[in-house]
Amino acid sequence: MTDKTRSIHGEWSSRFAFILAATGSAVGLGNIWKFPYITGQNGGGAFVLVYLLCVAAIGIPIMIAEIMLGRRGRQSPINTMQTLAAEAKVDPRWGYLGWMGMIAGFLILAYYSVIAGWSMAYIFKAFFGGFFGTDAGEVKQMFDNLMASPIQQIFWHTVFMFITMQVVMRGVKGGLEKAVRFLMPALFVILIILVAYAMASGAYAQGIHFLFSPDFSKINADAILTAMGHAFFTLSLGMGAIMVYGSYLPGHVSIAKTTFYIAGADTAVALLAGIAIFPLVFANQLEVATGPGLIFQTLPLAFGHMSGGWLFGVLFFVLLFFAALTSSISLIEPAVAWLVENKNIDRQKACVWSGTACWGLGVAVVFSFNVWSGFKIFDKNLFELLDYLTANLMLPLGGLCIAVFAGWMMKQAHAEQELELPAQGFQAWQFLIKYVAPAAVFIVFLHVLGVL
């Protein structure tokens, strides 16, 4: 189990395979569904700017650290952290970091699967011509009907969870690498087509203005926390997903370079999604702060009126489904890897156990959109609560701990040996991981608590 050169779970076939898998994990609902709606809820440009700063100054250095820790530990995040803590001769309780990540992944997947289920439901709505010639009111009604139906949502959530488990059971290598190779570029192309449509929509300038001209009066401590949390969420950081993917990475692959590719692709997809959606929001007099239904109430309008809209509509939701799938498998992988390592069960059983538990919580999330929508804790329904707890609190806290471990606990000679960077590059990373990233997360937390 402590073999340093290879993980017992296998290894990516190449550096390119790792980039695909990690990009698959990063690019998902976070970019296309979540980024636009939280940008709408938090006032636009200033929020986007804070998010981009967080990606650059916190996300990128922490991604480098997380991949590095994974590759050095070569096991599930819990065991990786325990092994590396022992190597660094520090408190074995660093293993708790792995535990928190595993739990966060579980909580995220519970609602992630429900939203992925929405996109599956929309594949069929698109296929049967449901968007054709619709107006904003009809599209909203279509979404409201889905929200009001526990049966439909549970059905799609179940299908999505089942497919996720099927893929994870087969191990990450078997087919997923190949699928992502085709799907990611295809998603990119459709987004560009949607951007082109948005440019012709009349409210293009207004959309761009909303996204890119910062108005800092619209931003408060909670918006800053959301932007920072989203930087972690969108890059799959702070919970061990990227760490466990890193543990399957062959040695002597440049971790820093791959990180730039992954973060670059992720950011590009999010911005393209925003540029495609906000002009439609303004052109149709929709509310920017609509919330989680935003893309489901805007994009069908575009598909319903553009030429080729039927085809693009079906393709778009198929690709969104695949983007969600390549992320969901990474959300459950830390738990599956740990169960296999510590509970002496095979991959199949580990998938069934963890998947079933996650499915159950997901059913409760479905109810939070209808029958339990009145049930609130801290003024949040279950979906909002899980989202806040994981993206805004657990992931940044996990990221903070990863930064402290990589920057202060582990021998810097070991970090240098793993990263194989030119001296200046290594120093830049070290500065960001030791000071900038931890301080930024800490200050934002204090700011939210009202201490600073």
State the angle between helix axes of 136-148 and 95-127 in degrees (0 to 180), rounded to the nearest 10: 130
C-alpha Rg value of the chain to the nearest Å: 21
- 362 binds Na ion per the rule CB under 5 A: no
Residue with smallest beta-carbon separation from ligand PFF: 30
CA 396 – CA 263 distance, rounded (Å)? 17
Closer residue to Na ion in complex, CB, 33/359: 33
Binding span for Na ion by CB under 5 A among 24-32, 132-140, 146-154, 253-261: 24-32
Task: Find, among 382, 366, 368, the residue nearest to 152 by Cα.
Answer: 366
CA 214 – CA 48 distance, rounded (Å)? 8
Binding span for Na ion by CB under 5 A among 234-242, 382-390, 391-399, 419-427: 234-242
Closer residue to ligand PFF in complex, CB, 23/297: 23
- Using the rule CB under 5 A, which residue among 24, 30, 238, 300 binds Na ion? 30
Closer residue to ligand PFF in complex, CB, 41/220: 41
CA 326 – CA 362 distance, rounded (Å)? 18
CB of 306 to ligand PFF, least distance (A): 26
Query: SS3 string of 209-264?
Result: HHHHCCCHHHCCHHHHHHHHHHHHHHCCCCCCHHHHHHCCCCCCCCHHHHHHHHHH
- Count other Cβ atoms within 10 Å, centred on residue 410: 21
Binding span for Na ion by CB under 5 A among 229-237, 313-321, 331-339, 351-359: 229-237
Closer residue to ligand PFF in complex, CB, 224/239: 239
Query: SS3 string of 364-429?
Result: HHHHHCCCCCCCCECCECHHHHHHHHHHHHHHHHHHHHHHHHHHHHCCHHHHHHHHCCCHHHHHHH
* Size of the chain in residues: 452
- Cβ–Cβ < 8 Å for 337, 75: yes
Residue 438's binding partner among Na ion, ligand PFF, none (Cβ under 5 to 8 angstroms by kind) is none
Task: Find, among 246, 251, 259, the residue nearest to 425 by Cα.
Answer: 259
Residue 339's binding partner among Na ion, ligand PFF, none (Cβ under 5 to 8 angstroms by kind) is none
One-letter amino acid at 305 equals H
- 26 binds Na ion per the rule CB under 5 A: yes
- Cβ–Cβ < 8 Å for 239, 395: yes
Site string for Na ion, 243-282 (x = CB under 5 A): -----------------------x----------------
CB of 403 to ligand PFF, least distance (A): 17
Closer residue to ligand PFF in complex, CB, 108/421: 108
How many residues touch Na ion (CB under 5 A)?
A: 5
Which residues of the chain form contacts with ligand PFF (CB under 6 A)?
25-26, 28-31, 105, 108, 233-234, 236, 239, 241, 327, 330-331
Residue 239's binding partner among ligand PFF, Na ion, none (Cβ under 5 to 8 angstroms by kind) is ligand PFF
Binding span for Na ion by CB under 5 A among 30-38, 211-219, 413-421, 424-432: 30-38
Residue 108's binding partner among Na ion, ligand PFF, none (Cβ under 5 to 8 angstroms by kind) is ligand PFF
CB of 22 to Na ion, least distance (A): 11
CA 104 – CA 106 distance, rounded (Å)? 5
First-to-last C-alpha distance (Å) of the chain:
45
- Count other Cβ atoms within 10 Å, centred on residue 14: 12
Closer residue to ligand PFF in complex, CB, 34/72: 34
- 399 binds Na ion per the rule CB under 5 A: no
CB of 35 to Na ion, least distance (A): 8
Closer residue to Na ion in complex, CB, 26/84: 26
CB of 140 to ligand PFF, least distance (A): 24
- Cβ–Cβ < 8 Å for 24, 326: yes
Residue 188's SS3 state is helix
- Using the rule CB under 5 A, which residue among 42, 164, 234, 259 binds Na ion? 234
Question: Residue 101: how many CA atoms within 13 Å on its side-chain side?
Answer: 37
Closer residue to Na ion in complex, CB, 114/265: 265
Which tokens hold the place of 332? 């459950």
Residue with smallest beta-carbon separation from Na ion: 234
Closer residue to Na ion in complex, CB, 140/230: 230
Residue 330's binding partner among ligand PFF, Na ion, none (Cβ under 5 to 8 angstroms by kind) is ligand PFF
CB of 28 to Na ion, least distance (A): 5
- Using the rule CB under 5 A, which residue among 7, 23, 25, 31 binds Na ion? 31
Which positions lie near Na ion, rule CB under 5 A? 26, 30-31, 234, 266
